Structure 1
Amino acid sequence: MHEILLYSQISPSRHNQVLNILAGVTGSQPFAYQEQSALFAQLRAPEIAASKKKHSQPGTPQPGSQQQKWVYKLTRAVRITSDAPESTGQWRQRVEQTPDPSVKDHTAREVIESDVQDVRVYEDAGAYRSIGQHYVLGHRFVSDNVVVKIFRVLVAQEQLAADKILEGPPLSMSNLEILDASGTYMVEVSVRLEDRKNAKIAEKAFAELEKFKKNVEGVIDLRVPDRLALDTRVKDA
């Protein structure tokens, strides 16, 4: 699976206005969503990390070189409240490869996703190192193949052990704080395609994203971030 993306930011004062404008542009209403993500740095080569039978996990994504180690992102849907937060979905794992340097006008990267068969794989301190967790609260729009997300990132006030994150309930709102103290919202616009090597399909996807960018000019300043800021390779393992 490949994604092509553009990003932006909007101030809190413009949030509702932009939601209303996007509803008109996409012809759809915003869908509210909440997600919890846990990040784990791979410490050993894939064939070594999965060597213990009790910790083996069929279907674990293994991008690129077998010697390269990656940051794995586990995400599940949640419902965050002040008193009784709960998970509303199962954990899924995701690896995002470093964006393609040959693409200049968009961020283009390969992503590998699958269901998590056993979260205990990531609790093996010899195979993975917990980096932490964060929560995303936002709204999503869909327009043909374009997916638009407007969200804030919240972080835990204290670090938890991997088993508490993966096997316990999500944190309540009182235990979270906004990562960006200014309250700024992130904007992510993406198109996904199964086979980027198919020139016709890829050209259509890039054109669809570019068309959306032009449709929201003056409302959202979509741009391409530094590709190395999106590098998920583990450097110190």
Structure 2
Amino acid sequence: MQELILYSHIPPTRHAQVLQILAGITASRPTPTLEQTLLYIQPPATLTGAAKKAQANRQTQVKPQKSTYVKLIRDVQNDGDKTPWTLRTEEVPQAGITNVISRTITERLLSDQDLEAFRQTTGNKTKYCNQFLASPGHRFIHNNLIIRISRILTVPDGTGALEPLDAPVPEVRECRVVDSSGAYLFEVTVRVEDGANSKLVEMGMGEILGFRRLVEGVVDLRVPERLALDSRIK
């Protein structure tokens, strides 16, 4: 799946105003969200016998692959109800595209069996390293666009260190806002199921850039440095 993204920051003094404007544009009320993200380090895949032999026979030297971050994400409702975990991986954003961030992602909703299989790899191959919350958050849907506004919160040291999948959800009041100014992260995305279909990608590009023009003067949507979103471990 291909994901096209634009970002902005909303100062706390304009947060309520932006929510009202988006409610008018989308003709809907914002959906409150409280999202929990667990970060894991996943080593590169080990080559099997045939692949390893083929690589050894190549004349050019192949650079070693790096470990990457993978995410487990779920929405935790205010009443304590939790949605299932979603496993998400993100490729390095494509080079040469300057008007949006364009990257390949995979997302898979985990069943109880999938979650148990993932748990078995933790500590052996995949290693837990950190987590954060996105709260208070709001989500809008506008045609094919997903709009999210939230503050990113770091959790207290040691949270989930023993078994993050079973640990209680961190209390928001015990977490710390990453941006000390109190600004909200504004993210708008459009997803294209078949990233190899240039016509679909072009349509998605037109929709997200059209939204940027629509909110110009209200939200300053921009493109960060693509390598700032590199999922590979430095």
TM-score with structure 1 setting the length: 0.83
Aligned residue type for 2:176: E
* Partner SS, residue 164 of structure 1: coil
RMSD: 2.0
Deviation track 1:92-142 (CA, whole Å, cap 9, x = no partner) reads 111111100121110000001113312413531x42332211001210111
The letter for the 2-side match of 1:194 is E
| 1:94 matched residue in structure 2 | 88
Match of 2:24 in 1: 24
What amino acid does structure 1 have at the position aligned with 2:139?
Answer: R
Q: What fraction of aligned residue pairs are identical, expressed as a percent?
A: 37
User: Which among 61, 66, 69 is matched to residue 67 of structure 2?
Assistant: 69
The 1-side partners of 2:161 and 2:40 are apart by: 9
Instruction: Find the aligned partners of 1:115 and 1:184 in 2 and give their Cα distance.
Output: 30
CA distance in 1, matches of 2:40, 2:81: 20
1:227 aligns with 2:226: yes
Shift of 1:177: 1.7
**Displacement, 1:168?**
1.8
| Structure label with greater radius of gyration | 2
In the superposition, relative to structure 1, how do residues 162 and 122 fare at CA in structure 2: closer, same or farther (>3 Å)? farther
Amino acid at match of 1:69: S
Counterpart secondary structure, 1:165: coil
1:161: Cα distance to partner?
Answer: 4.2
Shift of the 130–211 alpha-carbon distance from structure 1 to 2, 3 Å rule, reads: same
User: Would you say the 8 A contact 1:87–1:169 is kept in 2?
Assistant: no
Residues of 1 paired with 2:32 and 2:16: CA distance?
13
Q: How does 1:97-108 map to 2 (within 5 A)?
A: 97-108=91-102
Structure 2: gaps of 5 or more residues:
48-62
2:71 aligned counterpart, secondary structure: strand
Supply the distance in 2 between the matched residues of 1:76 and 1:2 (Cα, whole angstroms): 21
Q: CA deviation at 1:218?
A: 0.2
Asked if structure 1 preserves the Cα contact closer than 8 Å seen for 2:44 and 2:68, the reply is no
The answer to whether the Cα contact below 8 Å between 1:139 and 1:151 also exists between their aligned partners in 2 is: yes
Q: CA contact under 8 A between 1:87 and 1:170: conserved in structure 2?
A: no
Q: In structure 2, what residue type is equivalent to 1:196?
A: G
Query: C-alpha separation between the residues in 1 aligned to 2:31 and 2:184?
Result: 16
* 1:171 alignment counterpart: 170
Q: Would you say 1:78 and 2:76 are equivalent positions?
A: yes
3-state SS of paired residue (1:112) = strand
- Paired position in structure 2 for 1:184: 183
Q: Equivalent residue for 1:132?
A: 130
Distance apart, 1:88 and its partner CA: 0.9
Segments of 5+ residues of structure 1 without an aligned counterpart are 49-64
TM superposition outliers: structure 1 runs of 4+ over 6 Å: none
Distance, in Å, in 2 between the alignment partners of 1:8 and 1:201 is: 25
CA contact (8 A) 1:122 1:162 kept: no
Change (3 A) 1:209 1:192: same
Residue 161 and residue 141 in structure 1: after superposition, are their counterparts in 2 closer, same or farther (change >3 A)? closer
Give the corresponding residue for 2:33.
Answer: 33
Structure 2 counterpart of 1:210: 209
Assess if the C-alpha contact under 8 Å between 2:140 and 2:147 holds in 1.
yes
Aligned residues: 213
Aligned equivalents of 1:77 and 1:141: distance in 2?
15
Specify the alignment match of 2:11 in structure 1.
11
How far has the Cα of 1:163 moved from its partner? 4.2
The Cα of 1:203 is off from its aligned counterpart by 1.0
Cα separation, 1, equivalents of 2:138 and 2:216: 20
In 1: Cα distance, 2:196 partner to 2:44 partner: 28
Residue aligned with 1:86, SS? coil
